[in-house]
């Protein structure tokens, strides 16, 4: 018998701007049976998305499929004409993108976009398509399945939008669905719901899935087999159980080790209470919108938060999206001036607005943004991006500046040759490291890290965390670490603050092996995926009920 | 990729990818610039001298581009016209776009009252019809080349401002601008180093378009007798004064039109095909 998907000797090449072709996929072989889920796992830049895209017969601009065959349901996607490929896309093979928010058109309703596939391929009359869409919404356990289609994309949450993107892919009754990191942008409590919905629907329709991810724990829940990729070559293919228990290839072992970040070696709060705290915040409130009669902004995102960061220690702030953790970071950095409360930094009172702060105060307190894509100027080279704070804060020029840029690239483990590239030519992980190196260039005392590892794969994230620890020892830095990823926060922070709806609900000190008390903290802690493949099925939490509590 | 093979060695030598269309357009622009620069040395006849007994004479040896409605040598008039058309338009478009783009980026970065005041003033200027404004200025201070350049640039500042402000506002919302602000960067760095490189493509395209508008407005003003003063004439004025030759298919009306077309099209093609730096260092 033949398999639903057969990939033989697949190679993909990319061109550089001087017209040179480089192999980015080096001979991949894979079979997928009907109803089977295969996960492509690997670090950013390993070619996992490129490999998944070839199932659609698609190579990104500047790339080409240069050899091998990709047979999907009897059709060779490599040799088909573009018109024939288009006929198969959406009906035989469908795609769920990483960022559903960017994949939806904000100007038309969700229903119109979900049933668009049936209109293009003339699969069924619109009324029937709508009925089918509602059935899919119900199967994906979306709230209000009958009316959610009438809303616009900005009126639903990120997790819901991701499930709606899956509905869009499933409406044409495809045999193969490609999920491209569909839960990477979601927080853990939402991720659980989305994974459950995907698993139920694909099992019900016996759809073969390709699940692209860098998160081994998520993959363990959803996949039957795992293919480990690195530098465009397959390292290892095996069942989930084999890969998790008996990883043969060193890279796979590294991947598994990265999942257990080194939490040891941290003494419980060094020299507690000695000296003044580096950062102290008292009843800080901040929000958005025009000021009201009581002097507060229209929407208060942070409500009277107090916290302390001691010199040389790290504070973790954790919470779901919308809980105000990023707003808090922006208020501390002075981007969004707080409306109430006070910020003491390095023994001095800080102005609420960054404009009024002194040169040295700005230098000592750096912020690293979540999205390296928008935080790096696409028109400038890495050299210019890293060099500017050196010139601006330290007056370095010429050779001294070049040497320091090299040192910074070494520090964040990037090849020095990267300095001439532009951000668009780097992978996501590389961009985030440049983003971090720019903050280091200022030689600050405190770095606010706003979800800096959420876009990175586990190996790179673990490497970045190790790097942060090392730099902390060398430079005496402190971090305020904002994340929705508990394992990252536990690995590096001496103290964890759980935020919920703009307030801090609990402070946890990991060194004390303290168990969370607040119901929301409990939900958050139990939602972190475990490597155990049965974790999702046995997980017994009702997110909605917990959230109301 | 098509241009690769033909300019491969050139690209490898200079580190830039040079497009053939861009090269051709650059040659045309360079040609007209040289003609304008060396006009007094290459004109065969004086601009105002009537040398042909017939008017709207055909092309023939000695009168290579025929004669105009007064029997003057068309070749000399085109060569001298290049000085006015290229010089005045280039100066005016440079001033207009520089002022407009700098003000636009400044407003986008500063927002608040500065943006409000600058936007309203330029909106008010935009509401004055351009020819009327030109008439008024020339009536008040008389026609001279500096006055023409300044008038033309003032007319086109509001458009350049609106355009660049809209582009800059999109860039201004990006995180990297926030990073630069938090670093404590001042306005000149923000606009020159963070925003401008991201909007330079559309701004140059806009400059090319505005150059064409200015050439046309200049010829309009010249026709009304407010532009370049006789016996000198820019290309637009040459078309207008020889329009009567159209029924006779006189070169006197066709040639200046072709001159305007080659210049304006080349400027736009050049801007769309500027050389691109190759950043794949390992290739060579």
ipTM value: 0.75
Domain ranges of chain B: 2-283
Pair B279, A421: CB distance under 8 Å: yes
B284 contacts in chain A (CB < 8 Å): 18
Distance CA A469, CA A478 (A): 10
Phi and psi torsions of A456, nearest 5°: -100, 155
What tokens does B100 get? 């407009």
Per-residue pLDDT of chain B (284 residues; tens, 9 = 90+): 444 444 455 565 667 777 889 899 999 999 999 998 898 888 888 887 888 778 888 888 878 888 888 888 889 999 988 988 888 998 999 999 999 999 999 999 998 899 999 999 999 998 988 888 888 888 898 888 899 999 999 999 999 999 999 999 999 888 899 899 888 889 999 999 999 999 988 898 899 889 888 887 887 788 777 788 777 888 888 888 888 888 888 888 889 889 988 988 898 888 888 877 766 655 43
Phi and psi torsions of A11, nearest 5°: -125, 140
Pick the CATH number of B2-283 from 1.10.3720.10, 3.40.50.300, 3.30.1360.40, 3.30.460.10: 1.10.3720.10
B196-223 helix and B145-172 helix, angle to the nearest 10 degrees: 150
Q: Does A548 touch chain B (CB under 8 A)?
A: no
Q: Name the closest residue on chain A to residue B2, using Cα atoms.
A: A19
Among B198, B200, B279, whose Cβ lies nearest the Cβ of A17?
Answer: B279
DSSP track, A471-494: HHHHH--EEEEEES-HHHHHHH-S
Residue range A222-237: mean pLDDT, rounded: 87
User: What pLDDT, on the 0 to 100 scale, is given for residue A272?
Assistant: 47
Q: Does A378 touch chain B (CB under 8 A)?
A: yes
Pick the CATH number of A34-49+81-259 from 3.30.565.10, 3.40.50.360, 3.40.50.150, 3.40.50.300: 3.40.50.300
Residue A354 Cα, gap to closest chain B Cα (Å): 6
Please give the radius of gyration of chain A, using alpha carbons only, rounded to the nearest integer: 24
Q: Does A350 touch chain B (CB under 8 A)?
A: no
Q: A interface mutation test: which of B1, B182, B187, B195 has the most A CBs within 10 A?
A: B182
A20 contacts in chain B (CB < 8 Å): 280, 282-283
Is the Cβ pair A17, B185 closer than 8 Å? no
Domains A34-49+81-259 and A312-335+350-514 share a fold: yes
Q: Does A174 touch chain B (CB under 8 A)?
A: no
Residue A22 Cα, gap to closest chain B Cα (Å): 11
Query: How is the beta sheet containing A446-450 ordered, strand by strand?
Result: A365-368, A446-450, A478-483, A314-318, A495-500, A503-508
Q: Name the closest residue on chain A to residue B200, using Cα atoms.
A: A379
Is the Cβ pair B176, A377 closer than 8 Å? yes
Distance CA A423, CA A414 (A): 13
User: Where residue A79 falls among pLDDT bands split at 50, 70, 90?
Assistant: confident
Phi and psi torsions of A38, nearest 5°: -115, 130
Q: Would the pTM of this model clear 0.80, i.e. be above it?
A: no
Q: Does B176 touch chain A (CB under 8 A)?
A: yes
Among B4, B174, B200, whose Cβ lies nearest the Cβ of A374?
Answer: B174
Calculate the CA dihedral of residues B272, B277, B282, B283 and round it to 10 degrees: 40
Distance CA A55, CA A61 (A): 16
Is the Cβ pair B279, A420 closer than 8 Å? yes
User: Where residue A296 falls among pLDDT bands split at 50, 70, 90?
Assistant: confident
More confident residue, B107 or A340: B107
User: What pLDDT, on the 0 to 100 scale, is given for residue A340?
Assistant: 84
Residue position matching structure tokens 């304008």:
B36
Is the Cβ pair A367, B183 closer than 8 Å? no
Q: Does B186 touch chain A (CB under 8 A)?
A: no
User: What pLDDT, on the 0 to 100 scale, is given for residue A424?
Assistant: 83
Q: Does B175 touch chain A (CB under 8 A)?
A: yes
User: What pLDDT, on the 0 to 100 scale, is given for residue B99?
Assistant: 96
User: What pLDDT, on the 0 to 100 scale, is given for residue A541?
Assistant: 58
Residue B56 Cα, gap to closest chain A Cα (Å): 53
Q: A interface mutation test: which of B179, B180, B202, B204 has the most A CBs within 10 A?
A: B179
User: What pLDDT, on the 0 to 100 scale, is given for residue A261?
Assistant: 53
Within 5-44 of A, beta carbons closer than 8 Å to B belong to: 15-20
Q: Name the 3-class secondary structure at A340.
A: strand
- The predicted-structure confidence for A182-225, as pLDDT tens digits, reads as follows 887 677 777 887 888 888 888 888 889 999 987 788 888 888 89
* A-to-B residue pairs, Cβ atoms closer than 8 angstroms: 77
Q: A interface mutation test: which of B19, B176, B189 has the most A CBs within 10 A?
A: B176
- In Å, what is the CA distance from A468 to each residue of A6, A86, A311, A481, B199? 43, 46, 15, 11, 35
Looking at residue A19, what DSSP letter applies?
S
* Residue spans of alpha helices (H) in A351-456: 359-364, 372-375, 382-394, 398-411, 428-441
- The CATH architecture annotation of domain A312-335+350-514 reads 3-Layer(aba) Sandwich (3.40)
User: What pLDDT, on the 0 to 100 scale, is given for residue B283?
Assistant: 43
Residue A335 Cα, gap to closest chain B Cα (Å): 7
Pair B243, B68: CB distance under 8 Å: no
Q: Does A61 touch chain B (CB under 8 A)?
A: no
Cis peptide before B269 (omega within 30 of 0): no
Residue B125 Cα, gap to closest chain A Cα (Å): 32
Residue A67 Cα, gap to closest chain B Cα (Å): 21
Among B181, B193, B280, whose Cβ lies nearest the Cβ of A354?
Answer: B181
- The predicted-structure confidence for A57-76, as pLDDT tens digits, reads as follows 888 888 888 888 888 888 88
- The predicted-structure confidence for A22-65, as pLDDT tens digits, reads as follows 888 888 888 898 888 999 988 767 888 888 888 888 888 888 88
Q: Name the closest residue on chain B to residue A390, using Cα atoms.
A: B183
User: What pLDDT, on the 0 to 100 scale, is given for residue A275?
Assistant: 65
Strand partners for A448: A367, A480
Among A17, A378, A438, whose Cβ lies nearest the Cβ of B17?
Answer: A17
A438 contacts in chain B (CB < 8 Å): 179
């Amino acid at each position: 018998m033949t398999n639903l998907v057969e990939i033989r000797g697949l190679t993909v090449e990319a061109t550089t701007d001087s017209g040179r072709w480089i192999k980015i996929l080096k001979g991949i072989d894979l079979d997928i049976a009907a109803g089977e889920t295969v996960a492509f796992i690997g670090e950013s830049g390993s070619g996992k998305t490129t490999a998944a895209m070839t199932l659609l017969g698609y190579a990104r601009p500047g790339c080409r499929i240069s050899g091998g065959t990709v047979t999907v349901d009897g059709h060779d996607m490599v040799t088909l004409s573009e018109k024939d490929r288009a006929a198969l896309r959406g009906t035989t093979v469908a795609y769920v993108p990483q960022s559903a928010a960017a994949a939806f058109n904000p100007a038309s309703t969700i229903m119109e976009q979900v049933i668009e596939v049936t209109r293009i391929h003339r699969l069924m009359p619109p009324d029937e398509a709508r009925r089918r869409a509602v059935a899919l919404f119900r199967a994906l356990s979306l709230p209000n399945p009958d009316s959610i289609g009438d809303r616009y994309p900005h009126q639903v949450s990120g997790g819901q939008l991701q499930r709606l993107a899956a509905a869009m892919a499933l409406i044409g009754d495809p045999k193969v669905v490609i999920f491209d990191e569909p839960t990477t942008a979601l927080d853990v409590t939402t991720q659980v719901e989305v994974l459950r919905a995907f698993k139920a629907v694909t099992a019900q329709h016996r759809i073969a899935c390709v699940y692209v991810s860098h998160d081994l724990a998520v993959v363990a829940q959803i996949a039957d087999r795992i293919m480990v990729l690195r530098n465009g070559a397959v390292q290892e293919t095996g069942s989930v159980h084999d890969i998790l228990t008996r990883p043969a290839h060193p890279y796979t072992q590294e991947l598994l080790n990265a999942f257990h970040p080194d939490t040891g070696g941290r003494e419980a709060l060094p020299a507690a209470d000695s000296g003044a705290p580096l950062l102290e915040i008292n009843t800080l409130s901040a929000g958005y919108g025009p000021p009201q009669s009581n002097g507060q902004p229209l929407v208060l995102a942070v409500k009277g938060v107090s916290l302390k960061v001691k010199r040389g220690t790290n504070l973790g702030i954790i919470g779901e999206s919308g809980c105000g953790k990023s707003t808090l970071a922006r208020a501390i950095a002075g981007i969004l001036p707080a409306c109430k409360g006070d910020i003491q930094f390095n023994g001095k009172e800080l102005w609420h607005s960054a404009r009024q702060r002194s040169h040295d105060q700005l230098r000592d307190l750096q912020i690293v943004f979540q999205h390296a894509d928008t935080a790096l100027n696409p028109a400038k080279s890495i050299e210019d991006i890293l060099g500017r704070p050196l010139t601006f804060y330290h007056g370095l020029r010429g050779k001294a500046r070049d040497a320091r840029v090299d040192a910074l690239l070494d520090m964040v483990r990037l090849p020095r040759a990267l300095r001439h590239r532009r951000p668009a030519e780097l992978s996501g992980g590389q961009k985030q490291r440049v983003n971090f190196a720019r903050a280091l260039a200022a030689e600050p005392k405190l770095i606010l890290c706003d979800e800096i590892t959420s876009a990175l794969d586990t190996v790179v994230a673990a490497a970045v965390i190790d790097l942060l620890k090392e730099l902390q020892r060398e430079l005496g830095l402190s971090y305020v670490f904002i994340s929705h990823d508990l394992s990252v926060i536990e690995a590096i922070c001496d103290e964890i603050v759980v935020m919920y709806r703009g307030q801090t609900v609990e402070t946890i000190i990991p060194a004390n092996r303290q168990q969370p008390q607040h119901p929301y903290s409990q939900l958050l802690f139990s939602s972190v995926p475990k490597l155990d493949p049965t974790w999702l099925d046995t997980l017994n939490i009702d997110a909605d009920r917990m959230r109301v509590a | 990729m098509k241009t690769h093979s033909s300019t491969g060695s050139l690209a490898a030598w200079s580190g830039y990818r040079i497009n053939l269309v861009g090269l051709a357009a650059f040659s045309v622009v360079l040609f007209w610039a040289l003609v304008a620069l060396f006009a007094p040395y290459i004109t065969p006849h004086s601009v105002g001298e009537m040398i042909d007994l017939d008017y709207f004479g055909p092309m023939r040896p000695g009168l290579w581009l025929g004669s105009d409605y007064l029997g003057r040598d068309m070749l000399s008039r085109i060569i001298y016209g290049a000085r006015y058309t290229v010089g005045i338009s280039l100066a005016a478009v440079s001033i207009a776009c520089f002022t407009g783009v700098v003000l636009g980026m400044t407003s986008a970065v500063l927002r608040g009252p500065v943006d409000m005041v600058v936007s309203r003033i330029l909106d008010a200027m935009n509401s004055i019809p351009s020819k009327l404004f030109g008439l008024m200025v020339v009536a008040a201070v008389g026609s001279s080349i500096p006055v023409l350049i300044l008038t033309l640039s003032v007319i086109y500042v509001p458009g350049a401002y609106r355009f660049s402000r809209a582009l800059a506002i999109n860039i201004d919302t990006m995180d990297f601008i926030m990073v630069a602000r938090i670093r404590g960067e001042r306005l000149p760095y923000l606009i020159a180093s963070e925003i401008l490189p991201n909007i330079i493509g559309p701004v140059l395209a806009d400059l090319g378009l505005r150059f064409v508008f200015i050439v046309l407005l200049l010829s309009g003003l010249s026709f009304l007798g407010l532009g370049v003063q006789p016996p000198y004439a820019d290309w637009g004025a040459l078309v207008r004064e020889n329009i009567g030759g159209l029924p006779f298919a006189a070169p006197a009306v066709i040639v200046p039109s072709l001159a305007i077309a080659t210049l304006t099209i080349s400027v736009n093609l050049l801007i769309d095909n500027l050389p691109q730096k190759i950043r794949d260092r390992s290739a060579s």
